Amino acid sequence: MTSLRSAALVIAIAVALPSPVSAQLLRRDDRLHLGLSSLIAFGAYGVVALVDEREWVRVSVGGAVALAAGIAKELWDLSGRGDPSWRDFGFDVIGTGVGLLAGWLLGLLVRHVRGPDEPEPTPAPLTFRF
């Protein structure tokens, strides 16, 4: 499992770092869709992580928010205010995946640093003395 985490981290870093090759392969608009979708997914994942411990909820909400933003942008373009493109939406999907992966990896790091969860102490029953 550790090798899978390491591979995921290497891929996330490779995608995030600018390089001459990526600059030639990706247009400016592609990089914007990829980056903004990543940020939206990562941010939504993080906000949900503050209020809910269930991983599936974090991933679902983070993915839904980022993809909804991408769909909204393409619908905006389709209304005549831009150039609608399946390519743009494809980069929204990839960016969403990168952002969710980054959030998941950060969550693993935080849980590792925090250590194993210790059970909450049970409160003493409330007693009244007269």
The domains of the chain are located at: 33-112
- Buried b / exposed e over 1-15, threshold 16 CB at 10 Å, is eeeeeeeeeeebeeb
| Cα separation, 56 vs 76, whole angstroms | 30
Token look-up 């831009």 returns: 82
- The pLDDT tens digits of the residues spanning 18-36 come to 666 555 667 888 899 999 9
Largest CA distance in the chain: 81
Q: pTM value?
A: 0.72
- The pLDDT tens digits of the residues spanning 80-120 come to 998 898 999 999 999 999 999 999 999 888 888 877 765 55
| Cα separation, 110 vs 125, whole angstroms | 33
Give the single-character DSSP code of 81: I
pLDDT given for residue 110 in this prediction: 84
The yes-or-no verdict on residue 64 having pLDDT over 80 is yes
